[in-house]
Chain A
Amino acid sequence: METTRLIMVAVGGQGNLLASKVLGEAALISQVPVRMSEIHGMAQRGGVVESAIVFGDATSSIISDGEADILLGFEPAETLRALNRCSKDTKVITNTATLPPFTVSIGQGVYPDVEKIKELIKARCASLVAIDAMKLARQAGSPMSVNIVLLGALVQTKGLSFTKEDVIKAIERRTKKAFLDMNLKAFDLGWKAAQTYSG
């Protein structure tokens, strides 16, 4: 089976570790081999959290710079920061809702313009889907569902070799029952947003 390498970057607290667990479960359901690597500990105190997910035949569980087939960014500046993980063949999906790092408010940097970020990525990578996942998450019922909105967009772009139904089943298994309806709605909103995206 061909290898697909997915990198997810997020800010601590955005729920990307749960998102990778859902993808892992979906891979198990569809019997796609998968290995995933994540960063815990100090990195979770508001810093950048990265998951690497390798689907298919390769046996490594991490992804080298320049070798991601898909980059899923939970925050636009973090997506841009992860450009070194991409090549011209990389499909990029990003949230456009910003979470400026604290360094910006204390004047240690300027947050890049989101339209400019989109332009920079589009010019270099194979494709870009950019959606306001935060808005959709609120629409689904809670900002906490931003991770599932982005999963919906990711699955819609068809880079992964399992079906929408498998991922929905994985969401049912891996997320809290109390939030299931909200998560399913979030997934659907993300899916539709990616489907109708025409940036």
Chain B
Amino acid sequence: MHKLLNDSPGEQIMLLGNEAIARGAVEAGVAFATTYPGTPSSEISLNLFQISRESGLYFEYSTNEKVALEVAAAAANSGLRTFCMMKHVGLNVAADPLMTLAYVGVTAGMVILTADDPAMFSSQNEQDNRYYAKFGNLPMLEPSSVPEAKEMIKSAFDLSEELNQPVLLRTTTRVNHSNAFVTFGDIKPMETTGKFVREPSRCVTVPAVSRGLHAKLLKKMDKARELSEISSFNTVHGSGELGIIVNGVSFHYALDAVKDLGIEDNTKILRLGFSNPMPEKQINAFLKDCKKVLVIEEGEPFMEEAVKAFAQESGIMIPVKGKSEELFSRLYEYDPAMVRGKIAAYFNIDYTPKEKLSLDNVPQIPIRPPNLCSGCSHRATFYEVKKAAGDMDIICPTDIGCYTLGFLPPLNTGDFVICMGSSVSSSCGFSKATDQKVVSFIGDSTFFHSGITGLVNAVFNNHNFTLVILENGITAMTGHQPHPGVDMERFGLDGYGRINIEKLVRAIGVEHVSIIKPFKVKKSVETIKQALEYKGVSVILSQEPCVLYAKSLKMLKPRAFKVSDRCADHRDCINSIACPSFYLDDGRVKIDADTCVGCAVCAQICPENAILPLKK
């Protein structure tokens, strides 16, 4: 049995934040769940995917976040408790349905989780998605810890049903990827068969209907405000004249800091967990007894601006500060010592930070950037494209996935990336705006997510570029989730369709389609050359399973190679493909037999044919 289906209420277990959220969904009786995976949200869906195989839960990896939210919207309007989860930038993709689903509402509980990533551990930006709650008029809850995340998702479902409104649950990486003790609660039985009751005056958003819905939405938010005023997630801790208003993980940094600074007797903290709409009356009551208030929130001044507006309206004149040059930044994430220091500075508390170690005489430590895995087929493809392009002046728009790492030297095959799918559409723009040759890269999962429409655009508008689709048969970077091109029988699952990318690309009207097996270097280079010479849209499918995935399925038996005595130290292998299995030993190139999987790409480019299979 999956550990999150454990039906022993009261039992304690150590869980990752994302596991706790998945467990909270199970306890809430969630019957329907959709997602497109993205760090830091991915383990929630990974667990729900596994759980769906052992329970009545319907779970799907949808093609992208917009699709996921639309699929979920139908379920939540058919009476099923529905959970839709994604990373913060995924909500941009889903923003179109989000804004109008807020008007339409739901007939059963619906929670939309956005996993924000302050400091961008694994993201292209650090946008603050609390503004989506305000923008779309959605109630929002924000947990501060792992155990609270599990409780909060249950409350979010109740809240959603009370308001007939989807609820936004906003987490940050430090909740998703922290571990803590969690106590199992009761599992609510799930309702798995829905019924849609026709209600065109609510569900068909033509202008005449939407005008009425918008007015109703504002009324719902008035009710939500009342619920926020009495929410057990908006709590005051301690008492005194020094006030702190805080959300999310910063709450714990502030709690620890107040204790460390010894100002517990004169400080009170208002933690906002139900943060849209904000509890105006409660905030005003809190401000009234304070001499000075500090607002602590990672990201944008979302609470700070609201608190200042509330104070202004009710004529409260005390200083309220948050974001400023001297105090808190809008950049990156916070940490306990930083919050401690800012609290001390703002409230004039004596505090000497721990003395920093002198790092004088510490030598420069070589950097360790993330790298494509040993034997990763992307590396081979990138090398071959560069080889085929020769002296051509090429632009390489790339996309979101492991292969973004191709931008690093010595491969240097990534020149432009802004979001999922942008490799294809930006290629359209580059090919018209410049005379340079455009060769772009996209993974198979990302192609399904949002590359297809760009390719349709390219064919229709007759653009001129080569698109390389890196078909490794899985969504690799987020942890090997399936996508519409995957054979689901490999997961032991039947009843799924499978989309053939080659047929799809041809059906779109791409006339020059070729397939390479990237571990066959010479042949691949020849094929790529022909595609590059073609005027118009050409597509190359580079087909080779993700090496990590193949290893995990035992589909691949690593057969290591070695550098033999024939090596004349040209170092073409290291300098042009930079596989992490190479290392230098006494100035000579060696191959680490523990990590080499035997893709043999280096063996094919060595001018001395010095790289040979290691005989066991």
Residues of A bordering B, CB below 8 Å:
11-12, 20-21, 24-25, 27-28, 33-48, 58-67, 77-78, 80-81, 83-84, 86-88, 100-106, 108-112, 116, 120, 124-125, 143
Contacts and interface: CB of A to CB of B under 8 A. Distances in A.
B366 A80 contact: no
Contacts of A44: 370
Dominant SS among interface residues on chain B: loop
Given A40-B122, A60-B253, A20 B179 contact: yes
A24 B368 contact: no
Nearest to B367: A103
Interface in B478-533: 478
A67 B337 contact: yes
A38 B357 CA distance: 24
A28 B253 CA distance: 23
A86 to B, nearest CB: 6
Interface string B145-179: 11000000000000000000000000000100111
Given A66-B357, A105-B582, A80 B365 contact: yes
A88 B355 contact: yes
Given A64-B336, A87-B355, A100 B366 contact: yes
Interface in B333-384: 335-338, 353-359, 361-373
A112 B370 contact: no
A62 B174 contact: yes
A43 B121 contact: yes
Interface stretch (B436-444, B463-471, B573-581): B573-581
A36 B178 contact: yes
Given A46-B373, A61-B145, A108 B366 contact: yes
Contact of B402 (A45, A58, A62, A65): A45
B109 interface: no
Contact of A59 (B174, B179, B255): B255
A47 B180 contact: no
A21 B14 contact: yes
A47 B252 contact: no
Contact of A60 (B14, B336, B362, B582): B336
A37 B574 contact: no
A60 B252 contact: yes
Interface in B549-596: 574-575, 578, 580, 582-584, 589, 594
Interface in B15-46: 39-40, 42-43
B362 A21 contact: no
B462 interface: no
A28 B13 CA distance: 8
Contacts of A11: 368
Nearest to A89: B354
B337 A112 contact: no
B39 A87 contact: no
B238 interface: no
A87 B370 contact: no
B90 to A, nearest CB: 14
B181 A100 contact: no
6 contacts: A35-B179, A42-B121, A63-B336, A65-B335, A77-B366, A104-B366
A120 B361 CA distance: 8
Nearest to A112: B363
Interface string B35-71: 0000110110000000000000000000000000000
Nearest to B362: A120
A83 B370 contact: no
B267 to A, nearest CB: 15
A42 B355 contact: no
B583 A100 contact: yes
Contact of B122 (A42, A48, A109, A125): A42
A40 B46 CA distance: 14
B611 interface: no
B204 interface: no
